[in-house]
A and B are shown apart, each in its own frame.
Chain A
Amino acid sequence: MDLAFTKEDLAFRDEVRAFVEAELPADVRDKVAKGKHLERDDYMRWQQALGRRGWLVYTWPKKHGGPGWTVTQRYIFENVCADMNAPGIIPFGSKMVGPVIYTFGTDEQKATYLPGIRESKVWWCQGYSEPGSGSDLASLRTRAVRDGDHYVVNGSKTWNTMGHWADWIFCLVRTDPDSKPQEGISFLLIDMKTPGITVKPIIMADGGHEVNEVFFDDVRVPVANLVGKEGEGWTCAKFLLANERLGIAAVPQSKRGVDAVKKIARAENDNGRPLIEDASFREKIADLEIQVTALEYTELRALSAMAAGGAPGPEVSFLKIRGSEIQQRITELALEAVGYYAMPYQPALLWHGANEEPIGPEHAHTAAPRYFNVRKTSIYGGSNEIQKNVISKMVLGL
């Protein structure tokens, strides 16, 4: 056992650093550092830079155009990117639909879709959830009826993240209403420009727009866009969700989040002294830092087991639960740290280029909106209650 990186690992770290330094647009980096909202183009400029270097799909095997990195290299890459304030990679193409396509797709589908994902030329979004089907995904009802060499899709999807920016959506649709819930589902790729698709924003508690409802009204989708076999979409769905779990712990982001709380606590005053000198507040930060470390080493253990060829163990399942709780705790502490100046509501300031003067200190105005918004992390991607049900059933045998 060894905690230290090898010489090669260190050289790789320097290479990643140099790349980020040279390729991450300064304005994007600044937005991330300040916790501002990003535009589609901000993500695209960064992801396309990664794509040109062949690093965007860094979890893919070589034969599908990935870099073929070791798990240590992936770990280093993620940490360096987070440390240097690179935006998170939008997972829908690179981590979700891409692997589904290279695992279950036809050669033609691979040739058609994978290059656009590798190079970040195409923005994908995920169409799983429906108004009546959240945790119980298999109850979904959006229908796809075969008509010659097309499917005709009717229904609606919801909680569609960044669908208003997307070129394509991957959907779970019901192709057989009469079979068992999980059996009549198919996995379809749909061009968002197809007639009959309407995207309607859902406004979040913090006033932001990141999710949508998507309506399908007699949308004609070529049968060639079916991935895997008709009626076997649930296999793709489960494969995709398992892929989604790794990396969802957001450890590098949380480490940066703890640093940000420390920075706020250094800048805020309490009785004429920096808040960070207040014993009880220091202890809260220390407690959080220990939680992040426990999570990090749990993730490292999983990565190490994978590097040795093993399947990731049960620890992987609770990375999501603890990861989301820690992200939420960070926002709670930031909110506590800023005191009264959490109160002014200045949504425009969350966007770059807003020429409004912040009312309190620069670090204060994002505290409350983030706290409200980050409640989502224990809901999306399978709620924490559902994750716990999975662990108790699959891991503990209850």
Chain B
Amino acid sequence: MTGEVAVLGAGMHPWGKWGRGFVEYGTKAARAALADAGLEWSAIQSVVGANTVRCGYPGQVAGATFARALGWQGARVTSVYAACASGARAIDTARAQILAGMADTVLVVGSDAAPKGFFAPAGGERPDDPDWLRFRVLGATNPAYFALWARRRMAMYGDTAEDFARVKVKNAAAGAANPYARYRSPVTAEEVAASPVVADPLRLLDICATSDGAAALVLGSMETARRLGVSRPVRIRAVSSVSPSHPRTALDLPDIATDSAPPGSPASDPFRPSIARAAYEEAGLGPEDLSLAEVYDLSTALELEWYEDLGLCEPGEGAKLLREGATALGGRIPVNPSGGLASFGEAVPAQAIAQVCELTQQLRGQAGERQVAGASAGITVNQGLFGHGSSVVAVR
């Protein structure tokens, strides 16, 4: 174990399509996190911003952008980018600064104003960029990759479209109780089945939307938490960050092909399960110790994949776990009690931070109608483009 840091404050801007700039959303989330921590902005020693992609500087220098918006006060500033894992990388950077003694109080902010429709690569002619190539040569959008995985689950494990719809129904029910969620209405299996196919077998309601939104955390050393009189803070006990092992044989965004695996070569360690395993090892706990999990349900089918990759059940048994009700609110191990990306949509640099905001509320017992009774340990997991995967374990 490398040591713990305390979550002093958590704050969010509601997800939606608000038509305003990401600086405004992020600043509101930051102010909410500061208020929650009971700290003045001037008491923050470091700001870590999770980058959003904008052609121009502000999105790429998110740390400085938020520091400027909150008022220059001399804090250390850092910006990080790791696509969907940006928020987790920002948390990890803040944690490293605290554990290294570089700062006692760090503000982490992620915010985005998302484009409408499919995510697309930046413009220009860039044949050396795998992300550009997959759109150019194949029209392979993000939902296409989600669908390849969904179809493979159907072939390998016998999952059905009805199983996938159950994930949406479950997450929509939880999201209806979350004031920060974009979609706050229950969804029925019939509504999922009636929505248009985007990429067979996935329908519109199987795939998360793009959204505006922001989330922020104030992290501090355990000593700082004591000094502030916080007797039982939520603690971040692990932040994993792993990359795949060669040869990577699972086709994933944004690649057109996997690595080759010569005959007789031993199977490489599959990537996705290694993300949570690293976090469990660092935290000194396992799936049996969890009260809840927040996973990246970019598609309904992908949530089932995460159950297995988190070790909540054996490979191929994700749909069974779901059907038993284990992952619903009130079940043995609720997954996405926040409502997940199904209810929020993607605000890329914010969502991994929002996951930790949800853990914080749950572990403090402040989650209202969606409270997981007696929550004492939670995990988040996410995966970004280009080999980034992160998982955060928080306890109280």
Whether both chains belong to one complex is answered with no
